[in-house]
Structure 1
Amino acid sequence: MNDTIEQSKRRPRRTMLYVSADIEKHMAKSAELPTDAVIFDLYESISAEFKQRGRDKLARFLKETRFRGQEVILRVNQIGTEWLEDDLRLAAQLPIDAVLLSGVKTGEDIREAAYNLELAGGAHLPIMSMIETPMAVLNALDIAGASDRLVCLAVSNANLMTSMRLPPSPDRTGLFTSLSIVVLAARAHGLSVVDGAHLDITDPHTCEYACRQSRDFGFDGKAVIHPIQLAYTNDAFTPKPKDVEKKLQIIKLMEDAIADGRSYAMLDSRLLQPSELDAARRCIAMHEAIQQRNKAFDKENDTYVEAVSR
């Protein structure tokens, strides 16, 4: 597995902002927003007659625009549609960080798309997959292990709820099993996993609740459909100072124990398990990566901004 894929798997994805590739003012604004990733959408946000116009607009925009370290992702049209081949050909030519596949139902869909992307010249690009149908959920483990270029699974709550014929529900009770299956599949193959967007942008309280619910399910982050959602979504998935301090304690205690020939340690009268060392190291690595991301939006640190911008 190459370094690009490994680095992609370790990136923060607390927020992934969807932006239509056909709306220039939204694309321009996205370059300055403190989102961990920007998903430029060629699929749901552009009607059939304007697909090529969207491709052309996006190509011009990315050629002329510098980003502040955001992960730049292209969401292509659904597998099996007439537009996918042109989307993959464009992806191979763009200065992007990953391709997000839509309409995936099986691991074979991933393998075929990866092969076609390679034929188009995009063998260097990491791949992500939407999980948006009951079939995709039931095949999530197969999908997650289908390619060593796959780095992330991304749920679409709206599409999944529609295809499952679920009524609208603020707590998403009907999705609990599906969300857990997707998280399990992603973790079984060492992938990151991102929850779907909260669609009500007028109520920050319900959005904040949805973010914390996603975090408690084990997601790394959540899709975002409006900049107003960024602050509390980023916050929900950012390790808090007290958590960082505790993880550093765990690392020190466990490393000292290992040096003494023991596989366990005690913290606040609690027995620490060996697996907690790995979890603590992951938390600290993510904390450090987030700190680096935040520096990109420090207006006084132009040197860093220049370094991480495209």
Structure 2
Amino acid sequence: MPAIRPRRSVLYLPGSNARALEKARTLDADALILDLEDAVAPAAKDEARAQVIAAVSAGGFGGREVIVRVNGGATPWGAADLAAVAGAGADAVCLPKVERPDDVHAAERALAAAGAPDLDLWCMIETPRGVLAVADIAAASPRVAALVAGTSDLVKDLGARHTPGRAEVLPSLGLILLAARASGLAALDGVHLDLSDEAGFEAACRQGRDLGFDGKTLIHPKQLAAANRIFAPTSAEVEAARRIIAAHAEAEAEGKGVTVVDGRLVEALHVEAARRTVALAEAVAAGHD
């Protein structure tokens, strides 16, 4: 089984906010998306790019995954963003509003020209066209490492309304998750915009976890604790996983293909899931530093 990297909490940080970039080094986030796109006003784009590149180059983020969200290739800033990020030392580039495999290929060519042909790509799926093409986007390149649901833009484009149960985006979330798993990618749920709605945020996290997402994208540090807790295995889940692994190993040693643990039939597929649970718990326990 490949190494598992926790992505329970993925926090957006505006690239124009130098203090937020500095504080990010101490936050309990699994991953940080330093944003040059939606969170930055047009007049501040160049300054934000310089600040983000300086912050990434300086390092000090410990084990936190550092991703830079660039502006789209059709904007006045997209090409310069990619060229700058290429040599900064980020873990990945996040591409906004990806709608077709060609968007991935164009970013690959730009990064290769700038000397970073192997930099991972995170693709944001946040438009109807992107959702309908998500399987092809996920399979567009070995460099694609994650799909990120952009639910705010998606709701706007659908002409839908945000509802507590998120019925308006569930079909899209399902397609994004299916595409991610079919191509072996990470899958990240969209943001929760109402910072005062803690109960609603936790419900959205539980829903995303139940659907199969690896974690949630966040807009404020106050959301970190709940996301980290909900997207991590509980101690009971880890204990049950260890029992499954041990019981199946004992059954195999006796020449049996299946066994029963806690009254439930256990086969190889359950062992695979149990091993992932234990590996994720161990990775979480290892921390960010």
Instruction: Name the TM-score, length of structure 2 as normaliser.
Output: 0.96
1:149 and 1:261 map into 2 onto residues whose CA distance is 41
Mapping of residues 21-60 of structure 1, within 5 Å? 21-60=15-54
Q: CA RMSD in A?
A: 1.4
One-letter code of the match for 2:143? Answer: R
**1:79 partnered with 2:73:** yes
One-letter code of the match for 2:109? Answer: Y
Query: Does the 8 Å CA contact 1:79/1:104 hold for their aligned counterparts?
Result: no
The more displaced of 258-267 and 220-229 is 258-267
1:71 and 1:234 map into 2 onto residues whose CA distance is 15
- Equivalent residue, structure 2, for 1:257: 251
Q: Secondary structure at the match of 2:71?
A: strand
Per the TM alignment, residue 44 of structure 1 is displaced from its structure 2 partner at its CA by 0.6
1:101 and 1:175 map into 2 onto residues whose CA distance is 20
- Equivalent residue, structure 2, for 1:69: 63
Count matched residues.
Answer: 288
1:217 and 1:266 map into 2 onto residues whose CA distance is 26
Q: Could you give the per-residue CA deviations for residues 30-67 of structure 1, whole angstroms, max 9, x where no partner exists?
A: 11100000100001111222211111112222333411
**1:238 partnered with 2:216:** no
2:184 is matched with which residue: 164, 167, 190?
Answer: 190
Query: Does the 8 Å CA contact 2:71/2:78 hold for their aligned counterparts?
Result: yes
1:280 is matched with which residue: 270, 274, 284?
Answer: 274
Per the TM alignment, residue 255 of structure 1 is displaced from its structure 2 partner at its CA by 2.2
Query: Does the 8 Å CA contact 1:15/1:223 hold for their aligned counterparts?
Result: yes
1:143 is matched with which residue: 137, 143, 158?
Answer: 137
One-letter code of the match for 2:279? Answer: A
One-letter code of the match for 2:104? Answer: I
Query: Does the 8 Å CA contact 1:79/1:102 hold for their aligned counterparts?
Result: no
One-letter code of the match for 1:33? Answer: L
Q: Secondary structure at the match of 2:70?
A: strand
One-letter code of the match for 2:50? Answer: D
**1:94 partnered with 2:94:** no
Q: Could you give the per-residue CA deviations for residues 105-156 of structure 1, whole angstroms, max 9, x where no partner exists?
A: 0122212212221121112311110010111111111111111111110001
1:272 and 1:24 map into 2 onto residues whose CA distance is 51
1:225 and 1:85 map into 2 onto residues whose CA distance is 26
1:212 and 1:82 map into 2 onto residues whose CA distance is 39
Instruction: Name the TM-score, length of structure 1 as normaliser.
Output: 0.89
Query: Does the 8 Å CA contact 1:17/1:39 hold for their aligned counterparts?
Result: yes
1:162 is matched with which residue: 147, 152, 156?
Answer: 156
Q: Which blocks of at least 5 consecutive residues in structure 1 are unaligned?
A: 1-5, 297-304, 306-310
1:82 and 1:144 map into 2 onto residues whose CA distance is 26
- Equivalent residue, structure 2, for 1:207: 201
One-letter code of the match for 2:107? Answer: A
2:25 and 2:130 map into 1 onto residues whose CA distance is 32
Query: Does the 8 Å CA contact 2:83/2:114 hold for their aligned counterparts?
Result: yes
Percent identity (aligned): 38
